Amino acid sequence: YTELLPLLQKYNVKATVFIIAGYMGSSNKMTEQQVAEMASTGLVSIQSHAMTHEHLDLMNEQTLVYELEQSRTVLTRLTGKLVSVLCYPTGRHNDLTLEVARRYYSFGLIMNGGMYETQDDPFTVSRYYISRYTDLGTFASYVEEAGAPAR
């Protein structure tokens, strides 16, 4: 909120932020007001990272329903925009996770570093994990692998 939002506004660039809905307002996490403000700029799409960021592949159906439905409900109410994408915490999922995710979302993102093709399952969209410790060389290799020439 304090670092990214001003840069997005300065350069008029859009971003997607996946929110752990149950953690808003806790230590080192954005408050509900900050999340709502980011969404209201039109530059930031707020999407779901579940309620608690626990391993979804280890949950039973009842717990999964709570994690996925409640997160979507909380974030949609807060932003006024339908939340349609789930980023599986740590990328972990199984067949039950996918089944329940399909009830509440349009897409699901995993962290396998691969490329997504439009004919692929929209609930196993590949993505690269970029942490705060990812160095510039590694980031450049991801961009190059994705088809964009490194500069």
Q: Is residue 90 pLDDT above 70, yes or no?
A: yes
107-109 and 85-87 strand pairing? parallel
pLDDT band at 148 (very low <50, low <70, confident <90, very high): low
Predicted confidence at residue 113, as pLDDT, reads 76
- The strand ranges marked E within the chain are 15-19, 44-48, 85-87, 107-109
| Tokens at 137, concatenated | 């060389």
Q: Is residue 70 pLDDT above 90, yes or no?
A: yes
What are the tens digits of pLDDT across the range 92-132? 999 999 999 999 999 999 987 777 788 889 999 988 888 88
pLDDT band at 151 (very low <50, low <70, confident <90, very high): low
Average pLDDT over residues 71-89: 97
Buried-exposed string 16-28: b where 16+ CB fall within 10 A, e elsewhere:
ebbbbbbbbeeee
